[in-house]
Amino acid sequence: MATKITVDGVVKIFGDEPDGEALDMLHAGKSKDEIRERTDHVVGVHSANFEVEEGEIFVVMGLSGSGKSTLIRCVNRLVEPTGGTVTVDGVDITALNERELQAFRRDKTGMVFQHFALFPHQDVLTNVAFPLKVKGMDLVSREEAAAKALALVGLDGYERSHPSQLSGGMQQRVGLARALATEPDILLMDEAFSALDPLIRRQMQDELMDIQAGMDQRNTILFITHDLNEALRIGDRVCIMKDGAIHQIGTPGDILMRPETDYVAEFVQDVDQGRVLLVESIQEEAASITGDATIGAALEAMDRAGSNEAFVTDGTGAPSTVVTRSAAESGREGGQESAAQVARPAEQVASDTMLAKVYQLCGSGLPVAVVDGQGALVGAVQPLEVLAELGRVESISERLEEMKNRGGES
């Protein structure tokens, strides 16, 4: 995958003289509070370094005032960075002149906010088509594109409604459609779902992920939230900020299982990992054999895959039963020849299933087949691995409990 966005040493200080004493103090390692007290300047973001891959959902998570909005706005220079560079597709955005910057914003980016203004006296279609009008697109083409975007967010049929006739969730969808209508390379979403009630919010998260998965050319999405569950749920990677600084960047699994600072560890203690960890995080290679395979062939397939089981699959790759190494070996000792004779029915799950849901399939103690969207075998998960992963939640919470009991020392 290609790198889409590179944020290199970005600093933002708010105040009259951002690159004066405040910046010196920052370089000298002074805290945000110290700098504010002495210079009356506010550190919005400091030393932000990261890359976002093309097609990635990169989530910036942190409490109010941690610098999320400032950071995301530095990417399209709605906030002018005090220092550092932002590069998009190899172009240094911080070096663009005003005209080039406008073209960049118009042609490459779309933004969705928590509170965004829809034009109240225009219908939904006209609202969604608005950025295309700004781009100079003719009426017919832009309404066609707007209708397509509305369909993407599940609002077909509401083209001629007015914003006031829609619920908050639906209005938020209109906002998303408006950003999608221009088919932006980069979607900047600042607390876009935060005002929605939990159920609708989850629906919107699912929809965003579906839209992303269904695109030929995936958008790159920078998504801001102060909700860790949301971050872990939709992020390919999550960046955790505090006081303008980045504490950790990692996959949801990294953040949950390998928090790098106490701050991150404290955040994750509330999360039920099984609900956010996916099967694919512990999925292993699986051996596949045909229904007429011999026990010898089954053992060979296991050796090749480096696994201790082989799934019997049909012509489409769909698994039905499983032969474990121990069953194969004892079968052979008992004089049996056919793998089918020692096979047992296999449970199966999709690789994007939450780990917690797999738990109940592990009762037999047999490995569970992992299948793709077409139902073909792509791997296996071991019951003990599932338990160990779920168990790690406990150990993290226990560690945090201990820290707390010792009086908060780390």
Ligand X SMILES: Nc1ncnc2c1ncn2[C@@H]1O[C@H](COP(=O)(O)OP(=O)(O)OP(=O)(O)O)[C@@H](O)[C@H]1O
Q: Which is nearer to Mg ion, 61 or 232 (CB)?
A: 61
Q: From the CB of 226, what's the least distance to ligand X, in Å?
A: 5
Stretch that binds Mg ion, among 38-46, 68-76, 174-182, 316-324 (CB under 5 A): 68-76
**115 or 344: whose CB is closer to Mg ion?**
115
CB of 172 to ligand X, least distance (A): 17
Using rule CB under 6 A, residue 4 touches ligand X: no
Tell me: does residue 66 bind Mg ion (CB under 5 A). no
Torsion, Cα 230 199 276 240, to 10 degrees, reads 10
- Establish if 169 lies at the interface with ligand X (CB under 6 A): no
Return the number of the residue (245 or 362) whose C-beta is nearest ligand X: 245
Which residues partner with 104 through β-bridges? Answer: none
Find the shortest distance in angstroms from Cβ 261 to ligand X: 17
Neighbour count for residue 242 (Cβ, 10 Å)? 18
Element (H, E) at 120: none
For the CB of residue 75, give the shortest distance to ligand X in the complex, in Å. 12
Helix (H) or strand (E) holding 345: strand 344-345
- Shortest distance (Å) from residue 15 CB to ligand X: 7
Listed ranges 18-26, 63-71, 289-297, 352-360: which one lies at the site for Mg ion (CB under 5 A): 63-71
CB of 112 to Mg ion, least distance (A): 13
- The stretch among 57-65, 178-186, 322-330, 338-346 that binds ligand X (CB under 6 A) is 57-65
Q: Interface with ligand X includes 16 (CB under 6 A)?
A: no
Chain residues 191-220 in contact with ligand X, contact rule CB under 6 A = none
Burial of 239 (0-12, 13-18, 19+ CB in 10 A): buried
Q: Is 321 in the site for ligand X (CB under 6 A)?
A: no
Q: Which is nearer to ligand X, 3 or 114 (CB)?
A: 114
Q: List binders of ligand X among 90-129 (CB under 6 A).
A: none
d(CA 86, CA 50): 10
Among 66, 69, 205, 283, indicate the residue that binds Mg ion (CB under 5 A).
Answer: 69
Query: How far apart, in whole angstroms, are the C-alpha atoms of residue 399 and residue 333?
Result: 47
Quick one: 71 or 146, whose CB is closer to Mg ion? Answer: 71
Three-state SS for 23-85 is: HHHHHCCCCHHHHHHHHCCEEEEEEEEEEEECCCEEEEEECCCCCHHHHHHHHCCCCCCCEEE
Contacts with ligand X, 59-78, as mask; x by CB under 6 A? ---x-xxxxxxx--------
**H-helix or E-strand containing 357?**
helix 355-358
Footprint (CB under 6 A) of ligand X, residues 226-245 = 226
Structure tokens at 410: 């780390």
> Which residues, including other chains, have CB under 8 Å from residue 41's CB and lie 6 or more apart?
13, 14, 15, 16, 17, 18, 21, 22, 35
Q: 69 vs 212, which CB is nearer to Mg ion?
A: 69
Number of amino acids touching Mg ion (CB under 5 A)? 1
* Nearest in space to 111 (alpha carbons), one of 180, 205, 163: 180
Q: Does 321 bind Mg ion (CB under 5 A)?
A: no
**Residue 220 DSSP one-character state:** E
What is the pattern of x (binds Mg ion, CB under 5 A) and - over residues 166-205? ----------------------------------------
Q: What is the dihedral of CA 188, 193, 195, 200, to 10 degrees?
A: 160
Please report whether residue 225 would count as binding Mg ion according to CB under 5 A: no
CB 410 within 8 A of CB 403: yes
For ligand X, the closer CB: 67 or 331: 67
Helix (H, G, I), strand (E, B) or coil at 167: coil
Residues making contact with Mg ion (CB under 5 A): 69
Instruction: Give me the residues that bind ligand X (CB under 6 A), please.
Output: 14, 42, 44, 62, 64-70, 226
